[in-house]
């Protein structure tokens, strides 16, 4: 009997995670079939056919093209579109990833139609309810039937909230991704040569979270901190057009004069830069973990992180959005402890697919 899975994704990091699971689903022809839905939440010019070719996955069957607007408007439009797709497709499972508005819309649409929900990256908590992502992940966990956790701590977070049924610690699917693409990136990407960079001799930075970009004070502090680092070593900053525009609006573009600013990069180029960097500075949850997977020290430009294991193991420093704290972290580099299997053994996707196939609700 064929098990149909509708996968809901809306942002580039979700596609990257979903690619690992999709590859496993394709190993079960006749038993499993996947229908991928792109909500369109994050417009990314690099999410072209080349992007899907790099990930070795087909383009989504559906694209709702829902982007822009308030959280309520966006989530509502997604909810309406996903509901119609689920009524038409009649899946056995709805598979959601992470903590975006797309995640929540997929969870709510499925729950109201009584379709079982499986949540990848369940149980993560920042304990900051001012973050839209925290609201999304908590509500999605509440209506999920399978809670596919990346770490033991995530399992513990759910247990403290009274959620124990359907909970599985499968490991982090991003570790699967890191293992799968690291050598491909080294072999195929030419980005270091194009930017004139030497391995181990540059810093890689990203800054995209609303808590940083929408606050002129925080944004200015971060950019000033990056400019300080650029005196010591080249700093590469893949810059989203929205962040670039905000820097212009707030008359902060001068901070970029000493920084190597590039457009958002293709996936394999980003992986190549992450592996070769001397240090990574980011407010991205995914990039924090990738820094750990590749053994690169990380400075996180946030006040908290869901990936506390990276901090506990000495790979990651939380500095908020303070120029002085960024400089202090650069001056007092961490000496990372030995890496552990806290994020699993690189078989998360296979475990997820096995659980979906054997669990019928």
Residues annotated as catalytic are 208
C-alpha closest to that of 263 among 12, 13, 44, 53: 44
Structural tokens at position 160: 């403290």
Q: In which residue are the tokens 């417009």 written?
A: 43
- Cα–Cα distance between 174 and 343 in angstroms, integer? 9
- Cα–Cα distance between 338 and 352 in angstroms, integer? 27
Q: In which residue are the tokens 């992940």 written?
A: 137
Q: In which residue are the tokens 């499925």 written?
A: 110
β-pair partners for 7: 36, 95
C-alpha closest to that of 185 among 277, 85, 91: 277
Pairing of strands 62-63, 146-149: unpaired
C-alpha closest to that of 36 among 16, 56, 7: 7
Torsion of CA 320, 325, 327, 331, to 10 degrees: -110
Q: In which residue are the tokens 């509440």 written?
A: 142
* Residue 132 CA neighbour count, 13 Å, CB half: 13
């Amino acid at each position: 009997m064929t098990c149909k899975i509708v996968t809901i994704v809306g942002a580039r990091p979700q596609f990257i995670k979903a690619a690992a699971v999709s590859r496993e689903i394709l190993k079960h022809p006749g038993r499993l079939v996947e229908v991928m839905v792109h909500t369109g939440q994050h417009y990314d010019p690099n999410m072209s056919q080349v992007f899907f070719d790099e990930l070795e996955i087909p383009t989504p069957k559906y694209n709702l093209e829902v982007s822009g607007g308030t959280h309520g408007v966006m989530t509502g439009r997604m909810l309406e579109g996903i509901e119609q797709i689920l009524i038409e497709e009649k899946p056995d499972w709805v598979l959601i990833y992470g903590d975006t508005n797309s995640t929540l819309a997929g969870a709510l649409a499925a729950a109201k139609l009584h379709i079982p929900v499986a949540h990848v990256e369940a149980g993560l908590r920042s304990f900051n309810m001012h973050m839209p992502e925290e609201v999304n992940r908590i509500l999605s966990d509440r209506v999920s039937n399978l809670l596919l956790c990346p770490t033991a701590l995530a399992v513990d977070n759910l247990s403290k909230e009274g959620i124990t049924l359907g909970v599985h610690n499968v490991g982090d699917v991003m570790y699967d991704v890191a293992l799968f693409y690291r050598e491909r990136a080294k072999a195929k990407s030419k980005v270091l040569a194009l930017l004139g960079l030497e391995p181990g001799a540059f810093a890689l930075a990203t800054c995209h979270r609303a808590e940083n970009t929408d606050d002129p004070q925080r944004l200015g502090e971060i950019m000033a901190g990056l400019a300080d680092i650029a005196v010591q070593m080249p700093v590469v900053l893949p810059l989203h057009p929205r962040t670039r525009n905000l820097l212009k609006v707030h008359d902060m573009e001068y901070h970029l004069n000493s920084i190597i600013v590039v457009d958002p990069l293709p996936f394999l180029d980003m992986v190549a830069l992450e592996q070769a960097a001397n240090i990574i500075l980011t407010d991205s949850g995914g990039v924090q973990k990738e820094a750990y997977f590749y053994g690169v020290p990380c400075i996180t430009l946030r006040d908290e992180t869901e990936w506390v294991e990276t901090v506990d193991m000495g790979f990651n420093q939380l500095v908020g959005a303070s120029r002085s704290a960024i400089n202090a972290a650069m001056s007092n580099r961490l000496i990372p402890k030995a890496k552990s299997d806290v994020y699993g053994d690189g078989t998360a996707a296979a475990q997820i697919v096995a659980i979906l196939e054997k669990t019928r609700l």
